[in-house]
Amino acid sequence: MAMAAAVAATATVTCIPAWGAGDTGRSAVPAASTAAAAAADAEIVSTVAPVLRPNGTSSRKYSTNEMQRVDAEGGDPAVLAYWTPERMAAAKPLDAPGDPALVKKMAQDLAADLTPAPGTTAGQASTLRSAPAGSSTDGGTIVTHPAEPEDTGGASTNAINRWPISTGKLFIGGYGSGSYCSASALNTRSKRVVITAGHCVHSGRGGSWHSNLVFVPKFNGEAENKSPYGRFQARTLHTFRTWIEKGGTNQGWSRDVGMITTFANGQGQRVVSAVGGNGLKTDKYYAWPTTTFGYPHNLDNGRVMWGCQGWTRKSGVAPRTSLISGCNFGEGSSGGPWVWHYSNTTRLGYVRGVTSYGTPKNRSIGSPHFDSAVRRLAVQTNN
């Protein structure tokens, strides 16, 4: 996550409405100018995931033929060989770019942001080791529905142990600079998509795409088998141009969303087939109940997954973002899903946000607001 350092069954994707659908506000800006600005804000940029060479001096991208071969082999042996259990344990939380002025503004606005949202009964979230699902009756668009894994044998029925297996750690870089974020599998027709924060795939303003990304669902640094469902190497990376050009600034946080198309694992499984995939929900509301998951480094050194449950609210820290207070999620939780209607039965729900930034002393964490542009991002990643 960023403190301006970062604190993240088959269904068809719905048609995408025009940008701005449902907006009712008026603007003095000419319509053509407003439409152009909205289109630019929502522009998506994609790339074949870079692979850092073993000497760490340069990176390359796979050709089409190489991508097919790597998928058939369950990943690039050089990349997977680097990410040993020891190196995964040594990975540090990813640092995200930050604007000092924004950090100052976060501190100034903190008191207001800690005020409970209108209509909610609690202003603070609870940090959890097991969390029941929230509930809400508001509207919005269901982009995809959750998908359970194809093999569910041996699943526990004890609710307190029903932690998501679709959430995990996203390992980045390597060769002396290994880092990590949090991420989760997202259900799409391809069954290959992972959602995280934008700064977990691209470093933002003045930066570049990250390399050697590998997603490890239900990573558990305290277990003998730290990768129980395999490792899924990044195939293509996707985020918004607004994040790439303005990341780490007030304008950038609202588009700090990244998605990844992954290769199959070593057993030939696509990620959603192996661990299930959350649905995706977008709407106009900023206040809703969430169960948030991630690997904050300040809790257990990021070795295991943590959860937090509470109500979100519209943030005064960064425009078009939501905020939740009281989770105490620090760096490493970036990209972790904010799940609406999490079910302890299926261990799935609807991703409605991702951890993006945090206020001083981990008092609050923020997420971009999920709107129609995020729907388009999911469609492009699926394709």
Residue 133: which pLDDT band, with cuts at 50, 70 and 90? very low
Interatomic CA distance for residues 135 and 127, integer angstroms: 18
212 inside domain? yes
**Is residue 62 within 8 Å of 68, Cβ to Cβ?**
no
8 inside domain? no
Interatomic CA distance for residues 45 and 252, integer angstroms: 14
14 inside domain? no
Range with the poorest average pLDDT among 18-27, 248-257, 369-378: 18-27
217 inside domain? yes
Q: What is the pLDDT of residues 152-170, one digit of tens each?
A: 433 322 333 478 999 999 9
360 inside domain? yes
Q: What string of DSSP letters covers 312-364? A: -EE-SSSTTEEEEES----TT-TT-EEEEEEETTTTEEEEEEE--EE-GGGSE
Query: Where in the sequence is the domain holding 314, given as residue range(s)?
Result: 42-152+164-382
Nearest to 139 by CA among 26, 22, 25, 254: 22
**Is residue 312 within 8 Å of 324, Cβ to Cβ?**
yes
Q: What percentage of the chain reaches a pLDDT higher than 70?
A: 72
27 inside domain? no
Mean pLDDT of all residues belonging to the chain: 78
Q: Three-state SS for 257? A: coil
**Is residue 63 within 8 Å of 51, Cβ to Cβ?**
no
Confidence (pTM): 0.81
Range with the poorest average pLDDT among 1-5, 29-33, 38-42, 54-58: 1-5
Q: What is the pLDDT of residues 342-377, one digit of tens each?
A: 988 889 999 999 999 887 788 889 999 999 999 999
The number of folded domains in the chain is 1
In the prediction, which pLDDT does 101 show?
Answer: 59
Q: What is the pLDDT of residues 77-103, one digit of tens each?
A: 888 888 988 899 999 998 665 555 555
Range with the poorest average pLDDT among 36-40, 114-118, 179-183, 374-378: 114-118
158 inside domain? no
Mean pLDDT, residues 239-267:
92
296 inside domain? yes
